[in-house]
Amino acid sequence: MNIQTSIDGEKATIEPIGKLTVQTSPDLSAVVEKLPIDVCDIDVDLANVDYVASAGLRVLVATEKLTVKRGGTMRLLHPCDSVMEVFEMTGLSEVFTIER
């Protein structure tokens, strides 16, 4: 999985490309863990993600918890229909801030 990251002050934008599976989710987790401590707002641009498995959901939930702990917010941007369906089926569409 290729993951692009940009940081602007207290905000990070993370752009994973590919599928979030049990094999690739650790890559996303590692990117989040390496963010500077002063980053409190995280945008995860899912425009180039076409599949999210339960392992990917766990990383997104952990990222949400991290931003709340730091006093910030996480937004999920541009999920495709199949990824949005996963969020809706799991109830996470009510937990996450999602911008289509």
**What CA–CA distances, in Å, run from 99 to 30, 47, 84?**
24, 11, 10
Residue 18: its pLDDT value, please?
A: 97
Residue 37: its pLDDT value, please?
A: 96
Superfamily for the 2-99 domain: STAS domain (3.30.750.24)
- The contacts of residue 86 (CB under 8 Å, 6+ apart) are 52, 57, 92
Indicate the DSSP class of residue 79: -
**How would you write the pLDDT of the chain (100 residues) with one tens digit per residue?**
899 999 999 999 999 999 999 999 999 999 999 999 999 999 999 999 999 999 999 999 999 999 999 999 999 999 999 999 999 999 999 999 999 9
